[in-house]
Amino acid sequence: MTQTTPSDDRRELLRLYLADHRAGSVGGISLARRMASSEHRHASQVKVLEGELNESQHGLDRIMSLVGAQRSAVKDAVAAAGERLGRLKSNGRFVRRSPLSDVVELELLACGLAGQRQLWRALSNLGDELPAEARSIVADRSTVVEDQIGRVDAWHQEAVLATAMR
């Protein structure tokens, strides 16, 4: 029987944590892709954001490779299915998009970005426990996510003002 050390346990927890965030990125990119191809008020800007989210996912994939973590096909599939199921939400209209759809979709995107911010913060706290290349990716993506959160927040405020909610 193989005995694990606390260090082995920590590495395994990190690998699981990264796989969970990888799955979350699948759902976020799927949402952004749908928003960019819809009649969303900010579709063209969300298209740019989608590309940035793909870059973040590639950075996460690289970090996972550096620490020996594997993607979970099951978690990725569940996240993608969850995003698709989220489309069934009631927005007051059954056939076409409601102005409320923009508000709710941006809120979901903001939640995903907040989770991504926490990922980069958590990884930055690991410091020298991560390889130098991983630390560089974390620093870069930490800056990018802050800008993304600011843009999505501004779009959300515009979408709220464009609805009859005000």
Residue ranges per domain, the chain? Answer: 9-162
Percent of the chain with pLDDT over 70: 79
Q: Which of 6-10, 20-24, 139-143 has the lowest mean pLDDT?
A: 6-10
* pLDDT for the residue 9: 86
Specify the higher pLDDT residue, 164 or 106: 106
Chain CA centroid to CA 12, Å: 22
Which amino acid is present at 71?
R
* pLDDT for the residue 40: 82
Q: What's the rounded mean pLDDT across residues 9-25?
A: 92
* pLDDT for the residue 97: 67
User: With 70 as the cut, is the pLDDT of residue 140 above it?
Assistant: yes
Q: What's the rounded mean pLDDT across residues 99-122?
A: 93
Mean pLDDT for all residues in the chain: 86
Structure token digits, residue 108: 């979901």
Chain CA centroid to CA 149, Å: 11
User: With 90 as the cut, is the pLDDT of residue 71 above it?
Assistant: no
Element of type H or E holding 42: none
Hey, what CATH class is 9-162 in? mainly alpha
User: With 60 as the cut, is the pLDDT of residue 102 above it?
Assistant: yes
User: With 80 as the cut, is the pLDDT of residue 158 above it?
Assistant: yes
Query: Cβ atoms within 10 A of the Cβ of 89, count?
Result: 11
Which amino acid is present at 53?
L
* pLDDT for the residue 7: 78
Q: What's the rounded mean pLDDT across residues 83-111?
A: 72
Q: What's the rounded mean pLDDT across residues 58-81?
A: 82
Residues 6+ apart with CB under 8 A from 68: 11, 15
* pLDDT for the residue 87: 56
